[in-house]
Amino acid sequence: MARMEKMARALVLHEEDNVAVLLDPAVDGESVTLLDSADGALGNIQAGADIESFHKIGTREIAQGEPIVKFGEAIGRASHLIRAGEHVHVHNVVSARLSGGGV
């Protein structure tokens, strides 16, 4: 019997988002399937680090200063270049909330 390989999944919450929320933990180098809200596959990206479930992963390259978009809304800005598959969190995002709301 063939062994099924686990593949991490990440949910893209809005069509304009440049991040997805991981539904499963991802291991550095693992293929991550991007899903829309109807569980339709949007493609795959490769995780650029070990990333915990429910954290954000970049779905494409995000330039320094570019808005981080989740739920179709800017939630912050990239503090430096974020590559597709990279963990998107406090180490590379300036929060809109903490910076006074200006995005």
Identify the structural domains of the chain with CATH numbers, from first to last: 8-95 (2.30.130.110)
Which range among 5-14, 60-69, 87-96 has the greatest average pLDDT?
A: 60-69
* Residue 22 or residue 97, greater confidence: 22
* Residue 27 or residue 2, greater confidence: 27
For 42-51, the pLDDT digits (tens) are 999 999 999 9
Q: Degrees (nearest 5) of the Cα angle 31, 34, 39? A: 130
Indicate if the pLDDT at residue 103 is higher than 70.
no
- Determine the pLDDT at residue 28: 97
Average pLDDT over residues 48-72: 97
